[in-house]
Amino acid sequence: MALFPITSNFEGDFVLQLVAVDTENTMDEVAAAAAHHSVGRRVRARPGQILRVRRQGAAEFFPRTMKLGEAGLKPTETVEIIWEAPKH
């Protein structure tokens, strides 16, 4: 376990933000930590949608249960937090 700073680029928001997370956090937990600083402050919640995490510019999301420490991110590296509609 180790505190790990990431830079959150949250879909629909206007600014990058510093977010403190932990290497043991899953990507869903990383998304929730980033959402705390954007959703309900400057970005409307999107009921029914989930949030996914990807490296900036990547096409693929990290698996939702992947631990942050396994993602190979550098401290303060920017991740994009993207809304995803449920798949039917």
Binding site for other proteins (CB under 8 A): 5, 7, 9, 11-20, 36-37, 40-44, 56, 74-78
Q: What is the dihedral of CA 14, 15, 20, 24, to 10 degrees?
A: 60
* H or E element that contains 19: strand 17-22
Residue number with CB closer to other proteins (43 or 66): 43
CB 87, min distance to other proteins, A? 22
Q: How far is the CB of 28 from other proteins (least distance, A)?
A: 19
CB closer to other proteins, 15 vs 50: 15
CB atoms within 10 A of CB 80: 18
Minimum CB–partner distance for residue 48 and other proteins (Å): 18
H or E element in which residue 10 lies: strand 3-10
